[in-house]
Structures are given as structure tokens and as C-alpha cells.
Amino acid sequence: MGDVYQARDTKLDRDVALKVLPEAFTAEPDRLARFEREVVVQEVRCAIAM
């Protein structure tokens, strides 16, 4: 679906994953919506883990 990179969040002092979508995906509403849902799920998981 995209490229994933490991990065460091210095404010939260933890490793994070950055996912970058191909530009073509941004023109496809279904794929963009899937990506946005995935972001929300990950935010919830992180909040629960804290």
C-alpha cells in the first residue's frame, strides 16, 4: 500500500512507523479512506498502550 519507514518521536521518546502513500493513491477515495481508517486504529492502539 505504501512505503513504511522507522522513525523516532522525540516528544514521546519512542519509535514510530511512518507510512507514505504513492501519489496515485491520493486520487483514489477508497484507498485514501482505508489509509485514514488505519491511522485512527493505530492512534487508538497507542492510546490504550499508554
The SS3 of residue 39 is helix
pLDDT for 11 equals 92
pLDDT tens digit sequence for 1-50: 679 999 999 998 989 889 888 888 888 899 889 888 988 888 888 888 87
Cα gap 19→47, rounded to integer Å: 19
pLDDT for 8 equals 96
pLDDT for 25 equals 82
Residue 34, domain extent = 3-49
Quick one: which H or E segment has residue 15? strand 14-20
Number of independent structural domains in the chain: 1
pLDDT for 23 equals 86
Q: Which residues neighbour 14 within 8 Å (Cβ) at sequence distance 6 or greater? A: 8
